[in-house]
Structure 1
Amino acid sequence: MSSNPVAETVASLMPRAKAELTELVAFESVADFGQFPRSESEGAADWIAGALRAEGFQDVALLDTPDGTQSVYGFLPGPEGARTVLLYAHYDVQPPLDEAAWTSPPFALTERDGRWYGRGSADCKGGVIMHLLAVRALKATGGVPVHIKVIAEGSEEQGTGGLERYAEEHPELLSADAIVIGDAGNLRTGLPTVTTTLRGMTMVRVQIDTLEGNLHSGQFGGAAPDALGALIRVLDSLRTEDGSTAVDGLASETVWDGVQYDEEQFRADARVLDGVELIGSGSVADRIWARPAVTVLGIDCPPVVGATPSVQARARALVSLRVPPGVEAAEATKLLQAHLEAHTPWGARVRTEQIGQGQPFSADTTSPAYAAMADAMAVAYPGRQMRYAGQGGSIPLCNTLADLYPRAEILLIGLSEPAARIHAVDESVSPEELERLSVAEALFLRNYAAS
C-alpha cells in the first residue's frame, strides 16, 4: 500500500483492532434467543455503544426494534454544512453449526495461517471494526470531513426485519446523502470490489401429511402413502436435470454483464469435491448473481440412527429461494408456494407457510459516491481497479433505505470474500483486507466530502 497518513495510521491501529475484534467475537450474539442467551447479544450491543461514545459519537442509543432485538446508533458531527454518510454493519452472527468441527473455538478469535478465525470475524463484526478504524484514521489525520451516522443491527442474520420496521417508523433517523453497507466482500482477496446487486430471499416451510399416524412398513408399505417420500418428490421438482432452479412461472435465464467469476476459481472457493459437477447452466456469475437459486435448508424426518421400519405420516422441509433483481420477492414467494402445492403427489395434504422475505437490490453506479470510492480503492489497493460484482445473498435493509431515501447513494463493501467462509465452519477474516478496506473507507469519506 502506498504511503500516506491515513494508511500509516490504520496500520498502526491494527493491533488494537485485533484486540477489539477478539472482544467482540467472544459474544455469542446469535439473535435466536430460544437457543442462545439474549444477554450475549445485549453484551455485544453495549460494547459497540461504548466504542462509539469513546470516539466522540453523540446520541448513542440502543434501539429496541420491533422484532425484540437491539440496534446500536450513534452520530458524529462533522463540519457545518457537510454531507452526511451512514455506515452500516451488524453484530449478530450465524450459529456456529458443529462446534466440534471448528479448528479453533468459534467464539475465540484465533490467528492461523495469516487469518483471524472466529464466528462473525468477517460477517459482520469485522465490519464494525472497519468503521471504527476509518473514523479513527480520519480523526488522527485532519479530522472527520462529513457527518457520520453509524447503525449496527442486531438481527440481520435472522431476517426478522426489526431494523427495517424501526427505520420506517423513524424515517429521519438514518437519513443520509450516502450509505456504506459494510456487509459485502471483495470478489477475491486483494481485488477491490463494490457489490452493486443483491439477490432477495424468501423462505417457505412446507408440510406434507398423508396418514393419521405412522404405520409399520411391512404391514402397510407399498400402498400406504409415505409423507417423506412425497416430500422428496416435491423437493426434487424444484430442479431440472442439470440442477438449475425450476419454479413454475419464475424466469431463470437472466445474464450477468459485469465482472465474471472464473469457474475453476469458484470450484476452489466453494471447495467442490473432485469429480462433482457444478449445477445449473450459464456462467457462474449468471447462476449466483442474476438468477434464482433454490436451497433445501432442512428436513424434519427421523434420523438414520434409531429409525424404525415405519411409513411416515408427516414430513416438513424449509426451502429458501434467492431472488435476483427485477423480481418481486412477494411474487416469487407466491410462485414457490404454488409450485410446492402443485407438485405434491398422491393427493397428499400440503401446507406452505412463508417464514421470511427480503427484496433484491440494485444500486446506481453512476453516482458521485462511486467515483469517490473508486479513487479511494486505487490508493488502498495500488495497481488495482475497483470492480463491480453481484452478491448472491440478501441484505433486506438496503431496499428499505433506498425506498426511504431515494436520493441517497448506496455502496456495499466488506470483508466477506470467498476465503472468509461466512456462515460456515472456520469463518475467518483477512487482516490485510480489514486494513485496506478501512483505508479505503476513510479515503472515500474524505473524497466524498470534497466531491
Structure 2
Amino acid sequence: MSDTADLRARVHDLFPALRADLESLVRIPSVSAPAFDQAHVSASADAVAELLRGAGLDDVRILTAGGSRPAVIARRPAPEGAPTVLLYAHHDVQPPGDASAWTSDPFEPVERDGRLYGRGAADDKAGIVAHVGALRALGEDLAVGVTVFVEGEEEIGSPSFGAFLAEHEELLRADVIVVADSSNWKVGVPGLTTSLRGLVDCDVELSVLSHAVHSGMFGGPVLDAVTLMSRLVATLHDENGDVAVEGLAHAPDPAVDYDEADFRTDSGMLEGTRLAGTGPISARMWTRPALSVIGFDAPSVALSSNTITPRVTAKLSLRIAAGQDPTEAMAALRAHLEAHAPFGAQVVVRDGELGRPFLAPSDSAAMRAARESFEEAWGTPPVDIGIGGSIPFIADLLEVYPDASILVTGVEDPDSRAHGADESVHLAELEKVVLAESLLLARLARR
C-alpha cells in the first residue's frame, strides 16, 4: 500500500486534471426531470463512461432497466481474498431554476474565492470526480475489487432503482458500498453521515366551488380556495413551528449541534426571521420530522382576475425521522389533512414518493476504516452527522445486500447550496475528499 504522503502527493498532482473533468461534466445540462431534453442525460452518461475507462476500468457499461435514464457501471474484479467496494454517485442534476438568481451561467463553471460554481458542481458530479480521482491516484496499487455505479435519475427520486437492482443485482454486489452524495460538517471538518431522514410527499387538492365566480358578486359568504388552503396548511405546525401531525416519530437528538449564527449564514435566513421549532437545531434538521410546502398551483398575479378561485393544489414534502415507516407517516399526514379541512372544503390527497430513512451502525469495521482515512486526509477527526434530506435508494441497497456495509460520505459543505442557485463545491475540500477515498480503498484492502 502507498503511504499517506505518497498518496497525498499523487492526488495533488492529479487534481488540476480532475478539476478540468468536473468542469466538463458541469457543462452538460443533464437534468433528468421529464420536462428537459433527455439527450443531455445520455451525453452525460457517455462522458462518465469515458472518464471511468480512463481511470483504468475496462468493463464499462451504460445500462438501463425499467425505463430508467442511463446509468454507468464500471468494474474491476477483486484480487483473491479481497473485498469488493461499490462506489456510488449520480450524474443527473436538478433543473437550474431562475437563471437570473445565478451570479453566472449555471452550466458554465466559474471559480470564485476557491469555489467552483455551476449546477451539479457539488451534487453530484463532484462525487463522480472523487471516485475517478481515487482510482487514478491508486492506479496499479488498487488492491480491492471496485464497481462504480453512477446513476442517471437520482434527482427525480430514483423511480427505477428497484427494477435496476433486480436486473443487475450480481453486477452491483459488494461488501462495502460508498455513497458519495452527502455533506461534510463544514469546510475543514469532515463528516460521516450516520442518519438520513426518509421522505413522504403528496399533492393536496382543495375545492370550494364547481367553477370560478365574480369576487364582488359572491365574495363574503364564499372564501376562495387559496385562503382555505392557507388555513389548512397553517394547521400542519404548532405555534412554535414544530410539526403538528400526530403519529410522526422522533429519533434521538444528535451528539453535535449547529451554531445558530452559522445556521443563519449557511441557510441565508433574513435578519429578524425567527427559527422554527424547539430543541437542538441539529435535531430539527436531522432527527425530527419536517414538513414544507414545495409547490402551489393557483392563479398567478400576472394572470389574476376578479374571481374567487374554486380550487388549488399544494405539494407537500414531509421528511421523517429514522425509525418511522413511510407508509404510516403518509397515512398520518392524510388523516390530518382530511380532518382539518376548513369550512367543509373538499380535500383530496394524492400520494407521491415514499422513501425510507437510514440509520448506520457507527462502529463497523468499514466505518472505523473511514474514520481513520478521513482523519488522515483532513488532519482532524470526522464528525458523525445526520442529513435532513433523503436518499431513499439506500434502504433498497440494504434490502438486496443486507450484509454490505454502507458508508455515506460527502463532497458538499453547508455553503454548497445544492439544488439552489449558485451551487458550488469547495475545491480544496474536494481534493481532500479524493485523498480520503484513496486512503479508504487502500485501508479496506488491508482489512
Measured after TM superposition, the shift of residue 355 of structure 1 is: 1.8
Please state how far the C-alpha of 1:365 moved relative to its aligned partner: 1.6
- Structure 2 residue aligned with 1:312, among 309, 314, 319? 309
Aligned positions of 1:260-339 closer than 5 A: 260-339=257-336
1 CA distance for matches of 2:280 and 2:65? 40
Contact preservation (8 Å) 1:67, 1:160? no
- Check whether the contact 1:29–1:91 (CA below 8 A) recurs between aligned residues: yes
Q: Supply the RMSD in Å over aligned alpha carbons.
A: 1.4
**What is the distance in 1 between the residues matched to 2:66 and 2:11?**
37
In the alignment, which residue of structure 1 is the partner of 2:43?
Answer: 43
Given that 2:377 and 2:436 are in contact with CA atoms closer than 8 Å, whether structure 1 keeps it comes out as yes
Evaluate the alpha carbon distance shift between residue 19 and residue 362 of structure 1 in structure 2; reply closer, same or farther with a 3 A threshold: same
- Residue in 2 aligned with 1:422? 418
Compare 221-230 and 231-240 and name the one that shifted more. 221-230
Verify the 8 A CA contact 1:208 1:316 in the aligned structure 2. yes
Structure 2: segments with no counterpart, 5+ residues? none
Mapped pair 1:440 → 2:403: no
Judge which range, 310-319 or 242-251, deviates more.
242-251
Q: Which amino acid aligns with 2:218?
A: F
Matches for 1:26-41 after TM superposition, within 5 Å: 26-34=27-35, 36-41=36-41
C-alpha displacement of 1:160 = 4.1
> d(CA) in 1 for partners of 2:418 and 2:47?
22
SS in 2 for 1:338: helix
2:153 aligned with 1:155: yes
The CA deviation at 1:217 is 0.8
SS of equivalent residue, structure 1 residue 388: strand
Q: Which residue of 2 aligns with 1:219?
A: 217
**TM-score between both structures, scaled by the size of structure 1:** 0.96
Matched-pair contact (CA < 8 Å) for 1:194–1:389? yes
Closer, same or farther: CA 206–160 of 1 in aligned 2, 3 Å: farther
| Correspondence 1:30-429 to 2 at 5 A | 30-34=31-35, 36-139=36-139, 143-252=141-250, 254-382=251-379, 384-429=380-425
Q: State the AA in 2 paired with 1:256.
A: D
Which residue number corresponds to residue 6 of structure 1? 7
Query: Which range moved further: 372-381 or 65-74?
Result: 65-74
Letter in 1 for 2:329: A
Which residue type is aligned with residue 9 of structure 1?
R
* Partners of 1:159 and 1:357 within 8 A in 2: no
Per-residue deviation, 1:3:
6.6
Mean CA deviation greater in 257-266 or 106-115: 257-266
Q: Post-superposition, which runs of at least 4 consecutive aligned residues in structure 1 deviate over 4 A?
A: none
Distance 1:18 1:188, change over 3 A: same
CA offset at residue 59 of structure 1? 3.0
| SS of 2:233 mapped into structure 1 | helix
Q: Quote the Cα distance in structure 2 between the aligned partners of 1:92 and 1:127.
A: 12
Q: 1:243-287, CA deviations, whole angstroms, 9 ceiling, x for partnerless residues?
A: 1111132235x4313222222211111111111111100000110
Amino acid at match of 1:204: C
Using the TM superposition, give the Cα deviation of residue 98 of structure 1 relative to its aligned residue in structure 2, in angstroms.
0.8
In the alignment of these two chains, the number of paired residues is 445
Which TM-score applies when normalising by structure 2?
Answer: 0.97
AA in 2 matched with 1:441:
E
Q: Secondary structure at the match of 2:221?
A: coil
Query: Deviation of residue 67 (structure 1)?
Result: 4.5
C-alpha offsets along residues 402-425 of structure 1, whole Å, 9 cap, x if unaligned?
111111111111212111111110
Structure 1: segments with no counterpart, 5+ residues: none
Q: Percent identity?
A: 41
